[in-house]
Amino acid sequence: MQITVTGKQMDVGESLRGHAEAATSAIADKYLGKAIEAHVVFCRERHLFLSDISLHAWRGLTVQCHGQAADAYAAFDDAALRLEKQLRRYKRRLRGRHKGGKPGEEAMQPEPEAATDYVLAAEPADDAEASEGGNDPVVVAEMRTSIPRLSVSEAVMRLDLADLPALLFRNSAHGNLSLVYRRRDGNIGWVDPDLAVDGDPARGKAP
């Protein structure tokens, strides 16, 4: 597994780099058997150090964890502890889905659909500025992405593991697009279009 350790506006010494690489590799080997790559990023905000771990487990599955503390080592250990808890929490589910196989076998799922991810400029605070720019939003970035085919439970799992605000996916139960997202009350919302075909009453029901 390739592990990259970097610092934002701070130097990462060899000792801290080695600590982060060894711990991340050990956690990935223990809970995944194998992984593609991982990125560990350190930064400092006022009196705190922040550490972000992004682990690309296999195609379509990324685990994101964050930690903070008064020193860089403790910040990383906090993020690593969260990473281990996340993977331990889902290890049994992941293996059970593949009848005892390695979690990495999830890569055998159908290829995700190609899509384009657009980043739109935020609306200006001044209404006068907004009216001068017209009604069309301004595209500030354009990236290639993919839409996976998942069950609702798999989508919720990926949302949680990657610490995402929302996830668009093609529902394997009926083949249409669905969306899971984090609600402000802490629960997970699920948007499933009401596109019944031939009066099929099963559509819209969770798998």
Residue 11, classed as helix, strand or coil, is: coil
* Model pLDDT for residues 28-47, shown as the tens digit of each residue: 888 887 778 999 999 999 88
Model confidence at 52, in pLDDT bands (50, 70, 90)?
very high
Looking at the predicted structure, is the pLDDT value of residue 105 above 90?
A: no
Q: 104-107: which pairs have CB atoms within 8 A and are 24 or more residues apart? A: 104/32, 104/33, 104/34, 104/35, 104/57, 104/58, 106/58, 106/60, 106/61, 107/58, 107/59
Looking at the predicted structure, is the pLDDT value of residue 90 above 50?
A: yes
CB 120 within 8 A of CB 137: yes
Q: Among the CATH numbers 3.40.50.2000, 2.40.50.1040, 1.20.20.10, 3.30.505.50, which is that of 106-191?
A: 3.30.505.50
Q: Do domains 2-105 and 106-191 have the same CATH topology?
A: no
Mean pLDDT along residues 177-191: 91
Mean pLDDT along residues 162-185: 88
Mean pLDDT along residues 147-163: 83
Looking at the predicted structure, is the pLDDT value of residue 11 above 50?
A: yes
Whole-model pTM: value is 0.66
Report pLDDT for 194: 78
Q: Where are the domains of the chain?
A: 2-105, 106-191
In angstroms, what CA-CA distances link 66 with 15, 74, 77, 79, 161?
20, 12, 10, 5, 12
Closest CA to 42 of 63, 20, 23, 24: 20
Instruction: Pull the structure tokens for residue 152.
Output: 């609702």
Report pLDDT for 51: 96
Give the distance from CA 170 to its chain's centroid. 17
DSSP letter, residue 69: E
CA distance 189 to 131: 34
CA distance 207 to 150: 10
CA distance 89 to 177: 27
Mean pLDDT along residues 69-74: 95
CB 161 within 8 A of CB 61: yes
Report pLDDT for 95: 61
Task: Return the CATH number of the domain spanning residue range 2-105.
Answer: 3.30.160.100
Mean pLDDT along residues 41-57: 92
Model confidence at 104, in pLDDT bands (50, 70, 90)?
very low
Closest CA to 142 of 158, 119, 172, 165: 119
